[in-house]
Structure 1
């Protein structure tokens, strides 16, 4: 099992699932677990057509559930104003192509992530040497082939704004992938962190099933730049978030979240970085092109 920062169960920010299948975190923020990954719905219930935003698109086969949930939460036929991508790994883009087409929705991502979203480059191969459980061992079987939503792909604005979401900002949080981003609302210190850090040991099937409350660095088997990953966690910790929902695991809140992030930053080399691994000594980076492989 990967090392972790334990967190009190009282720090969980989610309650039971509501009638629309989501767990509310704030009046206009909810998440839904899709087997091993979370998707996030931003917008008040009943927001209507183009009145809400989807963050990430789940695993393959998620389309029907996401569409059904969106209709129940926002109204029949309610399409999102946009789909925001924290990054393009297989477990976050599973239904992206189908949903973007069905909803005729723009897809926003960081420029360094676009090669994985326009079909032009594949991710570096996963690393089974990082340890921590069966998911890590079988990670070479995970797909790295990119999706192609190039016709609807838009770059997040350089000024940090999020076009469909006044009051939200995007933050470049690389390491897990070159163009990974997180989304931040300063007014209530709400953080959608993607996989910059997670709250379950994603390398372990058991941990994913149990969903114990703990803090981890990004999933090890797909993280390609550990120096950048640490800097990203440090930047997010400096925000002092009140609530955080991550790509894997339960959302957390309060002082326990902030203290946990401080501990994760302090002990990152021990808790997050694997003892062995192909990207520990030789990171794959956008600057030298090693993060991108031709398809």
Structure 2
């Protein structure tokens, strides 16, 4: 492995899962996602398409399974044109180095995420003191050190277009992380939101285990700027999405999504922002 490619120093398998773990779902002909333990990995492109894109890279240790699913959906040797990252937290880049070493494709991210993807800077530590359930309380075990993928890392285009996806655009949705982005397609109002908002209460071990479907703000134990997070939810809600594939939880669409997102926007302080925690401002 070159100096430009290095896993994080606290890389480790995190032993947690949910009833959705291992499931594969196609929500549009060209939007497919696989739930890796508790996080979603998204594949954009019709089955057996020559041109397809991967969004995010799952939990540590998931590379082999992601490669198997890609081969099953797109054919042996048919690698993606690119990998897009919503952000660089451990559960979204867990297999990125294994995948890049296999595929040798560019990885695109917002420049504000670059310090965490080039080995320069660790993310703020997860906050086990934050108001929340068991997954918040044990969050100190989650990796937060940076990875290094300088060799393949590229900035998302400044005009908000998405490489290899002419109908999609990227939207800066910070709060959960500084360079967090979401993706939106106007023609069918489909949205990939990463952790800008989620469809399961991610700090609750029980709700994650059973995948209770409800719209919530970003995971509390890793969100460091709640004002930005609220602005990002408003920004996404204003686009009136008809489908949202989130980083955690089951994809949601139609009236269920509209009502859930509206409630979150209108009651963000009580539904999303914790009452206490080291990243909560008075």
Q: TM-score, normalization: structure 2?
A: 0.91
Distance apart, 1:21 and its partner CA: 5.7
- The DSSP-based 3-state class of the residue aligned with 2:258 is helix
- Contact 1:21-1:69 at 8 Å conserved across structures: no
- The DSSP-based 3-state class of the residue aligned with 1:151 is coil
Q: Match for residue 14 of structure 1?
A: none
Distance apart, 1:105 and its partner CA: 0.8
| RMSD between aligned residues | 1.3
| Cα distance in 2 for residues equivalent to 1:126 and 1:269 | 20
Pairwise mapping of residues 151-190 of structure 1 onto structure 2 (< 5 A)? 151-190=151-190
| Cα distance in 1 for residues equivalent to 2:253 and 2:268 | 20
- The DSSP-based 3-state class of the residue aligned with 2:147 is coil
Q: Match for residue 275 of structure 1?
A: 275
| Cα distance in 2 for residues equivalent to 1:204 and 1:100 | 33
Gaps of 5+ in 2: 1-19
Q: Which has the higher contact order (CA 8 A, sep 6+)?
A: 1
| Cα distance in 2 for residues equivalent to 1:156 and 1:278 | 31
- The DSSP-based 3-state class of the residue aligned with 1:38 is strand
| Cα distance in 1 for residues equivalent to 2:279 and 2:31 | 34
- Contact 1:31-1:41 at 8 Å conserved across structures: yes
Q: Match for residue 109 of structure 1?
A: 109
| Cα distance in 2 for residues equivalent to 1:278 and 1:65 | 36
Pairwise mapping of residues 1-295 of structure 1 onto structure 2 (< 5 A)? 22-48=24-50, 51-281=51-281
Distance change in 2, residues 1:275/1:85 (3 Å): same
Distance change in 2, residues 1:137/1:258 (3 Å): same
Structure 1 outlier segments of 4+, above 2 Å:
none
How many correspondences in the alignment? 262
Deviation string for 1:187-219 (max 9, x for gaps)? Answer: 110000000000011112211110111010000
| Cα distance in 2 for residues equivalent to 1:41 and 1:26 | 11
Q: TM-score, normalization: structure 1?
A: 0.87
- The DSSP-based 3-state class of the residue aligned with 1:114 is helix
- Contact 2:23-2:35 at 8 Å conserved across structures: no
| Cα distance in 1 for residues equivalent to 2:261 and 2:200 | 14
- Contact 2:79-2:103 at 8 Å conserved across structures: yes
- Contact 1:182-1:192 at 8 Å conserved across structures: yes
